[in-house]
């Protein structure tokens, strides 16, 4: 492990310099990684593992769209692509990558195949942390581990093909074989992680649910809507309001933050922008801090989990979700966004 100073706090991280791909291949030699679920994380992890020389099979409901996607990606029915139960039976490492609600539903079917010495792998701490709600309680004679990429499965794959990686957290919930840590780090390197940092199942899910509902998606969308609406209310055109709210952020400023940090981005903006941003950063922080406190407590208490499991298990879930997404898509703000994106030079050439 390498010790890195994160803003005055020293943390231990694992990179491919300390835990090489060849070492990962040696650790996983003789293992069969069964990736159950080929939706969000499944394709990226399965393809990266396969490209890195790890024996991988996919378990998916036969005949559906994701089954067809796995076939398109080169997994062969009866050889490397199987129904979920058959894949679980064949696998020695079970990557449980179904949706959180799907994991709870599938658990009674999967559990008989978790025989002594196998490894149960998650990329989210949800099912284990809230096991009293999900019913996902592993048998005591298997390893239970986590590698959670801090990005989508698509990004994991794209970055891998570009020669970079998505940073991942890792955790050990249960080490029945005494080899859980090596297997976890090997899997983390083999799926293409940029670097790995330690966490717990509980901390992973608390931070993940807070982040999704907060700055990554919920807060970001909400703050964008608020600014757009203020600009429109004060007579600005949809094009101007969208460009000042979304386009400049996504096409310019956030890239500078990603490359060099917020301080560098501030230092390379106009003095007018610098002064205003510095003056207003605090009021915005203080305004949303109570919302984040309420959000974190809702995550910690299990209330967010209760909502997810209740809503996602409803028979009309997909219909209601599509209605909500359609409502967002059809707002003036995101209709303006579609028009702005169509005017980008790369899209006008098509």
Question: Which residues are marked as active site?
Answer: 124
Alpha helices in 73-179 (DSSP H): 84-90, 100-110, 126-129, 131-134, 153-162
Q: Can you tell me whether residue 197 is helix, strand or coil?
A: strand
CB 175 within 8 A of CB 181: yes
The count of C-alpha atoms lying within 13 angstroms of the C-alpha of 144, restricted to the half-sphere facing its C-beta, is 17
Q: Which two structure tokens, joined as six digits, stand for 21?
A: 């791909």
Using alpha carbons only, what angle is made at residue 68 by residues 62 and 71, rounded to the nearest 5 degrees? 100
Structure tokens belonging to residue 55: 């024996």
3-state percent helix, strand, coil for the chain, nearest multiple of 5: 60, 15, 25
Both structure tokens of 119: 């490894």
Token pair 């070492």 is at which residue?
A: 23
CA distances from 41 to 61, 191, 244 (A): 16, 10, 33
Q: Which residue stretches of 163-302 are H helix?
A: 180-190, 201-213, 218-233, 238-242, 248, 254-260, 262-267, 271-301
């Amino acid at each position: 492990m390498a010790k890195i100073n994160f803003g005055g706090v020293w943390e231990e991280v694992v990179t491919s310099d300390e835990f090489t791909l060849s070492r990962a291949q040696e650790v996983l030699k003789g293992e069969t990684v069964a990736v159950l679920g080929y939706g969000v994380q499944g394709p990226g992890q399965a393809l990266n593992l396969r490209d890195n020389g790890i024996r991988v099979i996919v378990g998916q409901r036969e005949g559906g769209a994701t089954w067809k996607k796995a076939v398109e990606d080169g997994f062969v029915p009866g050889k490397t692509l199987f129904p979920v139960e058959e894949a679980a039976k064949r696998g020695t490492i079970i990557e449980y990558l179904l949706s959180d609600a799907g994991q709870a539903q599938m658990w009674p079917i999967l559990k008989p195949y978790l025989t002594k010495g196998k490894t149960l792998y998650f990329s989210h701490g949800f099912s284990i942390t809230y096991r009293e709600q999900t019913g996902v309680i592993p048998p005591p004679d298997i390893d239970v581990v986590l590698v959670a990429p801090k990005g989508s499965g698509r990004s994991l794959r794209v970055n891998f093909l570009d020669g970079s990686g998505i940073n991942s957290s890792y955790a050990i919930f249960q080490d029945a074989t005494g080899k859980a840590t090596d297997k976890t780090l090997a899997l983390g390197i083999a799926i293409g992680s940029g670097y790995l940092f330690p966490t717990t199942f509980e901390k992973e899910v608390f931070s993940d649910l807070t982040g999704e509902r907060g700055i990554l998606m919920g807060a970001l969308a909400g703050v964008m809507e608020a600014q757009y609406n203020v600009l429109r209310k004060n007579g600005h055109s949809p094009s101007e309001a969208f460009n000042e709210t979304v386009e400049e952020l996504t096409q310019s400023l956030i890239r500078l933050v990603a490359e060099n940090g917020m301080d560098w981005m501030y230092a390379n903006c106009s003095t007018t922008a610098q002064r205003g941003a510095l003056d207003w950063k605090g009021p915005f922080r203080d305004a949303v801090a109570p919302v984040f406190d309420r959000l974190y407590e809702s995550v910690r208490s299990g209330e967010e989990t209760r909502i997810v499991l209740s809503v996602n298990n409803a028979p009309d879930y997909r219909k209601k979700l599509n209605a909500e997404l359609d409502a967002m898509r059809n707002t003036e703000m995101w209709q303006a966004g579609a028009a702005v994106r169509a005017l980008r030079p790369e899209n006008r050439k098509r």
